[in-house]
Amino acid sequence: MLSRLDIHSRQVVRNFLFRLSLNVWMVVLVAGLGKWPYPRAFGVFHATCAASAMIAMTVALFRGEKPMDTSLNLWDESLAFSAFGLLALFIWREVS
């Protein structure tokens, strides 16, 4: 599927997956070490995803990227982080 995307879109997908994996590994490592209980880890993951979405939106504003562009950009990345954050918030509220 990545082969059908243009070069800029592929770079955005790679950067998103890298940032998402950093968020996941940070929460998994800290929760796995026993610093946080697992339900609280979902809350922390929600917070990190929300922060990543806000940072992506801010950078997209400063770069002057258009939200509905023909290729993927930071607006799409912020939307994806927001979706993961909302999913984590839903799970956090269900398990708490």
Strand ranges, E, within 1-96: none
Residues 6+ apart with CB under 8 A from 46: 85, 86, 88, 89, 92
- Give the C-alpha separation, 87 to 9, whole Å: 24
Give the separation between CA 58 and CA 18, rounded to whole angstroms.
19
Q: What is the pLDDT of residues 28-76, one digit of tens each?
A: 887 887 776 777 888 889 999 999 999 999 999 999 999 988 899 999 9
- Give the other-Cβ count within 10 Å of 53's Cβ: 21
User: Does the pTM exceed 0.85?
Assistant: yes
Instruction: For the chain, report the end-to-end CA distance as a whole number of angstroms.
Output: 37
Number of domains in the chain: 1
Q: Which tens digits make up the pLDDT trace of 17-29?
A: 999 999 999 888 8
- For the chain, the farthest-separated pair of C-alpha atoms sits apart, in whole angstroms, at 44
